[in-house]
Amino acid sequence: MNYRTERDSMGEIKVPADKLWGAQTERSRQNFKIGGQIMPYSIIRALVLIKKCCAVANWKSGKLSKEKKDAIVATCEQIFFGEYISNFPLVVWQTGSGTQTNMNVNEVIANLSVASGVQLHPNDDVNMSQSTNDIFPTAVHIAIVFAIERKLIPAVEKMILSAKRLEVENAGIVKLGRTHLQDATPMAFSSEISGWRAMLTTSIEMLKSALVFAKRLAVGGTAVGTGINTSKTYAIETINELNKDTGLDFCEDDNKYHALSSRDALCNLHGALKTLSVNLMKIANDVRWLASGPRGGIGEITIPENEPGSSIMPGKVNPTQCEALSMVACEVMGNDVTVSIAASQGNFELNVYMPVIAFKIMESINLLADSIDSFDKHCFTGIKANKEKMKFNVENSLMLATALTPLIGYENAAKLVHYAHENNLNLSQANEKLELVEAAKMQKVLDIATRV
């Protein structure tokens, strides 16, 4: 491999000749060979996006020449749209502020600008008016907001549409309700589906509420929150440029000391991701319980049969999409512990667990969005009611006795249920023996109870 020599404040170091990064990136690459989890490219894209906006703000305040501003803007756009991905090799497990990734971006932008004939310094020009301590969390917030608004929420909304369609398709179908995994009173199957739908709509509301805080940006705080080396209008000019570029509604955090030292907004946001995963786990479990069988389970619904389920049992088909979604939910719940602990750490003016927080939140968002898409497409939309099984379970349910309690009282209704269960009878047959209520009156009440 051919090398070139790069220099930084610590001296010279050899860098692969075909790469655009500089000395600080190379030092990090050599010193942190941990795990292999590369910093998500979504964070790199957010960094170049905010640096582009910073350059415009610095030019407007007279700190940066038009030539250098144009070079930074053009280079950032190239990187944003996917060029030069291989030039961002650093792992998540690095300095807790993200400084090495920030400098990786600065160095690549500066070295790329040489081709356009403009000489940029990675610190003095590309990082002008910035500190990793404010620009990295700003980029992380941007990347997370992008991913939630443009990937995760649309995936959830698509599943909500599937739920609405299933409600309409299953209108009028009555099934047995269940509590404590035991028979309960009858309900409409469409009502059960509406419960799933409401979990998803509530989760979106929670996410949107959490995004309000995530859209407050640290940019302009620099080293410790004082805004040293920035102009008075720099932060608001940068954010205005960002909103113009993205069409979103980011705003300046009005307390930069808080913005640098606390990760409460991201901890809160991941809590909403965890809540979504909890709801998805519940839906997945409901679906696979209801589809269990085909002979020995509940069997009140069928789901699409996508692939063989066993390497030894011929013809077996398993609820694989439910299982995949459940595993993602477990991962997100685990990530929430990591994010919570990391958000509680750091000392004085800076949280120094930013890379792992960014990595885990982006992982949660992407896993949730992908698994929801997969579950919706390959399982949820194909749910079919087994009307005969539902009808049989309702008609033979002992919990229909609940409707008789106003007529014969709780004690007599319980007596009827126990007698029917112990003697393997339905309620009407048990009443013939116990004669607790007139047969015609009882049948009328039971008929009404099954029309929900």
Provide φ and ψ at 5, rounded to 5°.
-100, 125
For the chain, the domains span 3-128, 136-220+254-387, 396-449
What pLDDT score does 14 carry?
A: 97
3-state SS, residue 349? coil
What pLDDT score does 83 carry?
A: 87
pTM of the model: 0.96
Amino acid at 361: I
- Is 141 catalytic? The answer is no
Angstrom distance (rounded) from CA 150 to CA 372: 14
What pLDDT score does 115 carry?
A: 83
| Residue located via tokens 């011929």 | 314
Residues 6+ apart with CB under 8 A from 180: none
What pLDDT score does 301 carry?
A: 98
Domain 396-449 has CATH 3.10.150: no
CATH of domain 136-220+254-387: 1.20.200.10
Q: Do 136-220+254-387 and 396-449 share a fold?
A: no
What pLDDT score does 452 carry?
A: 86
What pLDDT score does 351 carry?
A: 98
Cis peptide before 294 (omega within 30 of 0): yes
Residues 6+ apart with CB under 8 A from 194: 163, 167
Sites in the chain below the pLDDT cut of 50:
none
78-97 burial, b if ≥16 CB within 10 A, otherwise e? ebbeeebeebbbbbbbbbbb
Interval 137-175: pLDDT, tens:
999 999 999 999 999 999 999 999 999 999 999 999 999
What pLDDT score does 96 carry?
A: 98
| 423 class by beta-carbon count within 10 Å (0-12 exposed, 13-18 middle, 19+ buried) | exposed
Q: Which fold has domain 3-128?
A: Fumarase C; Chain B, domain 1 (1.10.275)
User: Which one of the listed residues 310, 344, 418, 421 is annotated catalytic?
Assistant: 310
Question: Do 110 and 126 contact (CB within 8 A), yes or no?
Answer: yes
